[in-house]
Amino acid sequence: MGGGFYSSRKRAIRSESLGYTTKSAKEIFTSRNVNSEMNPSGVTLRESRDSADHPNSVPVIIGLDVTGSMGSIPHFLVKEGLPQMMQKIIDNGVPDPQVLFLGIGDHECDQAPLQVGQFESSDALLDHWLTKLWIEGGGGGNVGESYHLAWFFASRYTSIDSFEKRGKKGILITIGDEPVLPDLDLRYQKKLMGDGQYSNVTSAELLDKAREQYEVFHLHLLQGAGSSQRVKDGWTQLLGDNVLFVQRREEVADVIANKVVEVASATGTVTAPVASVVADTDGDMML
């Protein structure tokens, strides 16, 4: 996956026609259960591949908390954050981002604690997967969410050319305001993914495994439960400098874009900043 280009002009036209800037979250995210396209059960791989369009693919996994306290983040991304993020990444010399959206809930309490999209580059397909998310609005009283499902999925169910061909890690960013639950029982793994070889694992073990192929970050919102010093200290202990604290949801797009560009720069993937216009697939111009 990951073909096509991101066109801010086309995205703005489509956003206006679909009412992204005016509709409520419930009007945009219409799923009332996990969408069949995003159900992880039976998934074998999600792939980020180099192509003629994107010869230096940069895989970016964004794990969005879709529990009650965090459902506003996907809505913000649809309204304005996603085009801002993509254009900033491209304008700063990373022309080949391929983004995969995950929906993250609570594996002990929710019906759909993991939802999985595909790695995509085009504006239309990124919107397709983002708006297919079911904003379940769940979570439980177990003092945490299942952010470690992103680490579990990335380490076992993705294949990325950037690492396999060029030895350059992808980027994995989860977003939330709770602690991560401490472990993942094999029973839940089987329930989520179907038949397979599983074992009980801790969050720390899943993190270590994901770090073999990805630079792993967590974007922690300092709102509500997220303002707790205990929660902040827990993330810092787990991720060190790779936990990114933000005050408001409006900062999310910029923080993600900056981190993608930073990691790409460190791995030598950044090119010279692109020109202000780039030809897209049907001969129009991408602004």
The arithmetic mean of pLDDT across residues 74-101, rounded, is 96
Helical pair 8-18 and 123-131, crossing angle rounded to 10 deg? 40
| pLDDT for 1 | 62
Sign for the CA dihedral angle at 20, 23, 27, 31 comes to positive
Per residue in 152-211, pLDDT (tens digit) is: 999 999 999 999 999 999 999 999 999 999 999 999 999 999 999 999 999 999 999 999
What pLDDT is stored for residue 278 in this prediction?
39
Query: CB-based burial of residue 18 (10 Å sphere; 0-12 exposed, 13-18 middle, 19+ buried)?
Result: middle
Indicate the DSSP class of residue 19. Answer: T
Band (pLDDT 50/70/90 cuts) for residue 23 is very high
If you ran DSSP here, which 8-state letter would residue 108 be given?
T
pLDDT at residue 41 is higher than 90: yes
pLDDT at 260 over 90: yes
- Contact between 153 and 170 under an 8 Å Cβ cutoff? The reply is no
pLDDT(51) > 80: yes
100-129 per-residue burial string, b: 16 or more CB within 10 A, e: under 16: bbbbbbbbbbbebbbbbbbbbbbbebbbeb
CB–CB of 58/260 below 8 Å?
yes
pLDDT confidence band for 228 (50 / 70 / 90) = confident
Amino acid at 63: G
Banded pLDDT at 287 (limits 50, 70, 90): very low
Per the structure block, which two tokens stand in for 64? 């969005």
> If pLDDT is split at 50, 70 and 90, which confidence band does 285 have?
very low
Average pLDDT over residues 98-122: 97
Statement: the pTM of the whole predicted model exceeds 0.85: yes
pLDDT band at 70 (very low <50, low <70, confident <90, very high): confident
- Distance (Å) of CA 283 to CA 7, 19, 77: 11, 26, 27
H/E/C letters for each residue in 56-86?
CCEEEEEEEECCCCCCHHHHHHHHHHHHHHH
Coil, helix or strand for 102?
strand
- pLDDT band of residue 268 (cuts 50, 70, 90) is confident
Q: How far apart are the C-alpha atoms of 73 and 65, rounded to whole Å?
A: 8
- Per-residue pLDDT band at 234 (split at 50, 70, 90): very high
pLDDT tens column, 245-258: 999 999 999 999 99
Percent of the chain with pLDDT over 70: 93
Handedness of CA 88, 89, 94, 100 (dihedral sign): negative
Q: Which CATH class is domain 8-286?
A: alpha beta
Question: CA-CA distance, 239 to 37, in Å (whole number)?
Answer: 31
Let me know: does 211 contact 150? Beta carbons within 8 Å.
Answer: no
Closest CA to 1 of 60, 51, 36: 51
Percent of the chain surpassing pLDDT 90: 84
Is residue 169 within 8 Å of 155, Cβ to Cβ?
Answer: no
Contacts of 147 (CB under 8 A, 6+ apart): 63, 65, 104, 174, 176, 180, 181, 218
